[in-house]
Amino acid sequence: MSREHSPVTVFPSQTREKLRANPSPTKVARELGLDVSTVYRHAKGMDLKLIRRAKKLDLSTAGIVELLHESSELTQAEIATKLGVTPAYVSGVLNEKK
């Protein structure tokens, strides 16, 4: 069966979740049965290099949120976009820390 006629719909949020776990668009495309260009489209705005570096440091997504909040001038919305999470998630992580 070709990729274009996949019986299962993969939503952008599912793709972003996979990319947070494994920031390799090629591997995620293979795993989800998508074209690599679709994975990149779903990941629009995500900073995959940042996520890759954080994974090497064994940081969780919440850890990355805290690090970006402390060390940068990024807004919560910008942090959410870079990590492919919702602004509510970022806000929740930062409020939990208080």
Q: What is the CATH classification number for the domain harbouring 87? A: 1.10.10
Report the pLDDT value the prediction gives residue 1, as an integer from 0 to 100: 43
pLDDT at position 97 is 76
Q: Is residue 38 part of a domain?
A: yes
Number of domains the chain is built from: 2
Neighbours of 98 (CB within 10 A): 4
Cα 45 from chain centre: 9
**pLDDT in 10s for each residue of the chain, 98 residues:** 445 555 678 999 999 999 999 999 999 999 999 999 999 999 999 999 999 999 899 999 999 999 999 999 999 999 999 999 999 999 999 999 77
Q: What is the domain extent for residue 53? A: 48-97
DSSP symbol at 43: T
Question: Which residue has 């990319």 as its token pair?
Answer: 19
- What one-character-per-residue DSSP string does 10-26 give? --HHHHHHHHHHS--HH
Position 35 scores a pLDDT of: 94
